Amino acid sequence: MKALRALFLLLLLLMASQAFTATLSERTYKRLTAIHELMGENKYSEALKRLDDLLPRVRKHKYEYATIMQTYGFAYAAQDKYRKAIEAFNEALNTEALPDQVQQSMRYNLAQLYAAVPDWKSAARAYEQWLASAEKPSADSYAFGATIYAQLKQYGKAIPKIRKAISMTGKPRENWYQLLLSMLYQKKQYAEAANVLESMVAFWPEKKQYWKQLSGVYFTLKKNRRSLAVLELAHKQGFLEKERELMNLVNMYLLQNIPYKAARILEKEMKAGRIARTGKNLQKLGEAWMRAKETDEALRDLQAAAQEQQKGVLFLRLAQLYTDKENWSKVIELTNKALSAGGLKHPGDAFMLRGMAQYETGKRQAALMSFSKASKYAKSKHQANQWIAHIKSGGV
């Protein structure tokens, strides 16, 4: 389509050629008209053959020669033979015989062809040559320039151009915003990226990736409340579908010390099957209930997690919950399991809990043995020795 539009532009320029001092001879004009008709019918091989026949006849006439080379360029470009098209256009430009407006258009075409090759450095040179003489560059042309410099990773030149393009259009162009956003990410300009994403979620609220990106950028900027608020909106709109995304929301609630909501969402999504009911996830659920002071729910889910994982730390947490309920037989059972499973960061804590439960159930000798073992660990040594002294003194 671009090649055909360029061809129609050429035809219009040829029709207006009488307005210029340099003109085509009648013979050349007729032959070129026939060649253009062949190109309009996609008969490029025949058109090129006729151009080859015509070329020796016009070499001494700069304007005619330049026009023929320009036509070569369009014919090659239409066949995606970009390097040959570039050579032809450069040859036409080197003559300096064509009208300024035609040469200016050809410089822009050259930049496009270099980009199609791609040869981004040459595209940038051709683009800057065109821009230097452009009277009223369009929004599309600024966006094209931004694309060239983005490919060269010259973001300092690309970003102002894409911003200019965006400012010139009434209707937002999504691909332009995407280009700007990607460059701001590359430059780690996250505050600016957040501003762009705020516009993007307003213009395209149905695009779930922009909500997630905005939340992520706010998190990077340490604006955790805003990050969570955006993620909440995304969840309400059904944009969080993968387990990783849903767990991110759960973790954000926990980070903001809102464990009850974290537990509710985790429980709901596990029931819906969007989050797997694994031992690890059950553990997180139980710990969230624990932080929310929902003891019964915490017991239920931590018990399920402990059965699944057989981890000492989980049995110990259960023992702590049953301590709050003064269910001493359960505390003894679970601390034994915790010590048996192993992997405890502070084994003395388990011995302390077991000793307390044994003391409460009248098993003083057993309690003394547990506290004695607890006293061997630095963290629990002081408290264990106090209990030992208390029991030996006959305290109640």
What does the pLDDT look like over 201-259, one tens digit per residue? Answer: 999 999 999 999 999 999 999 999 999 999 999 999 999 999 999 999 999 999 999 99
Instruction: Specify the CATH number of the domain 241-309.
Output: 1.25.40.10
pLDDT, position 231: 97
Whole-number pLDDT of residue 145:
97
241-309 shares its CATH topology with 311-396: yes
Please give the pLDDT value at position 26: 83
Q: Each residue's pLDDT tens digit in the chain (396 positions)?
A: 454 345 434 443 443 343 333 578 888 888 888 998 898 888 989 999 999 988 888 888 889 999 999 999 999 988 899 999 999 999 999 999 888 888 998 999 999 999 999 999 999 999 999 999 999 999 999 999 999 999 999 999 999 999 999 999 989 999 999 999 999 999 999 999 999 999 999 999 999 999 999 999 999 999 999 999 999 999 999 999 999 999 999 999 999 999 999 999 999 999 999 999 999 999 999 999 999 999 999 999 999 999 899 999 999 999 999 998 999 999 999 999 999 999 999 999 999 999 999 999 999 999 999 999 999 999 999 999 999 999 988 765
Let me know: does 74 contact 7? Beta carbons within 8 Å. Answer: yes
CATH fourth-level superfamily of 311-396: Tetratricopeptide repeat domain (1.25.40.10)
- Work out the number of other CB atoms within 10 angstroms of the CB of residue 377: 17
CATH class of 1-133: mainly alpha
Please answer whether residues 277 and 270 qualify as being in contact, where contact means their C-beta atoms are separated by less than 8 angstroms: yes
pTM for the model stands at 0.80
What is residue 210's predicted lDDT score, i.e. its pLDDT? 98
What are the pLDDT digits (tens) for 117-143? 999 999 999 999 999 999 999 999 999
Domain assignments of the chain as residue spans, ordered by start: 1-133, 241-309, 311-396
* Per-residue pLDDT at 395: 64
In this prediction, residue 85 carries a pLDDT of: 93
Quote the CA–CA distance of 111 and 390 in Å, as a whole number. Answer: 90
pLDDT for the residue numbered 27 = 86
